[in-house]
Chains A and B, each alone.
Chain A
Amino acid sequence: DVVMTQSPLSLPVTLGQPASVSCRSSQSLVHSDGNTYLSWFQQRPGQSPRRLIYKVSNRDSGVPDRFSGSGSGTDFTLKISRVEAEDVGVYYCMQGTQRPLTFGGGTKVEIK
């Protein structure tokens, strides 16, 4: 199975400041079709997860442009350019390249 490792576990951020979450996979996430199936999800307290980013860097509809994804191969990053209060929650990366689909352990973003 592909192991997804996120860091940090917890990320205290000042409002208006940038934040960055790292995700590393135990194997390359490049699929035989040429795509890299790495997604990012946000789970606000008490809510269902919501997908933010798919295929490394594509923002889902309605996702603010302060969220961006980057990376390749086995190393990926989610960046929030200026953290807002509504961004508090847990962020998960997920690989969809190989079954079983696997998630990272999550990074909790909180306001300092």
Chain B
Amino acid sequence: EVHLVESGGGLVQPGGSLRLSCAASGFTFNNYWMSWVRQAPGKGLEWVANINKDGSEKFHVDSVKGRFTISRDNTKNSLYLQMNSLRVEDTAVYYCARTYHFDYWGQGALVTVSS
């Protein structure tokens, strides 16, 4: 059974940094693209970033380019999102999702950016 478990969320001040992790199990991790999707409180879904199977291709939505970086470690079956220069508007639940088209999702990690 596919399992995706996010961790690393929390409260951070504007301008701060946070690193989210996603531990994957139940499938061959290095055979799949992986993605991050976020959802601001009470709002809809927004794609944030995705990464190809070996980590050589990475794509980010414009609103996070230069601040967030997606990465993966296939030896640890893990996906990451390094978030720097955080803004209040980055407050959201961040979901890890399998594949380019999000066939499985984790339970999400809440990131709150506030002073």
Contacts and interface: CB of A to CB of B under 8 A. Distances in A.
Interface in B92-107: 95, 100-107
Interface string A31-62: 00000010101010000111100100000100
Given A96-B100, A99-B59, A100-B61, A50 B45 contact: no
A100 B101 contact: no
- The size class of the interface chain B forms with chain A is 10 to 19
A23 interface: no
A89 interface: no
Contact of B103 (A43, A54, A101, A104): A54
A71 interface: no
B112 to A, nearest CB: 18
Nearest to A92: B45
Interface residues of A, number: 21
B108 A51 contact: no
Interface string A62-99: 00000000000000000000000000000010101001
B27 interface: no
A99 to B, nearest CB: 6
B115 to A, nearest CB: 28
27 contacts: A39-B101, A39-B102, A41-B102, A43-B45, A48-B95, A48-B105, A48-B106, A48-B108, A49-B37, A49-B95, A49-B105, A51-B105, A54-B103, A92-B45, A94-B47, A94-B101, A94-B102, A100-B59, A100-B61, A100-B62, A101-B47, A101-B50, A103-B44, A103-B45, A103-B46, A103-B47, A105-B44
Interface of B: 37, 44-47, 50, 59, 61-62, 95, 100-108
Complex A-B, nearest 4 residue pairs according to Cβ-Cβ distance, in ascending order: A101-B47, A48-B105, A103-B45, A96-B101
